[in-house]
């Protein structure tokens, strides 16, 4: 049962680390899109949000391989 508990806590920690840059990317993407809504700014906003997601995944995996997320 200890392994299951560790898996759950590490997963929650991993998701928390991923969420931080992803939310920052969403906010920056929204700031790009909403002042001037168009197709170009929508694409740029989505790219920024996806970039935040990828950076968050890389950061969380690095933390998980190092000392762990919790």
Statement: the pTM of the whole predicted model exceeds 0.75: yes
Q: What are 27-70's pLDDT values in tens digits?
A: 999 999 999 999 999 999 999 999 999 999 999 999 988 887 77
Q: How far apart are CA 27 and CA 60, in angstroms?
A: 20
Distances (CA, A) of 48 to 16, 30, 44: 19, 9, 6
Judging by beta carbons within 10 Å of its beta carbon (0-12, 13-18, 19+), is residue 66 exposed, middle or buried? exposed
Cβ contact 2:52 at 8 Å: no
């Amino acid at each position: 049962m200890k392994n299951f508990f560790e898996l759950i806590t590490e997963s929650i920690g991993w998701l928390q680390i991923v969420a931080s840059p992803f939310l920052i990317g969403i906010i920056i993407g929204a700031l790009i899109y909403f002042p001037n809504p168009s197709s170009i700014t929508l694409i740029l906003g989505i790219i920024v949000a996806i970039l935040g997601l990828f950076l968050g995944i890389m950061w969380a995996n690095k933390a998980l391989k190092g000392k762990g997320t919790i």
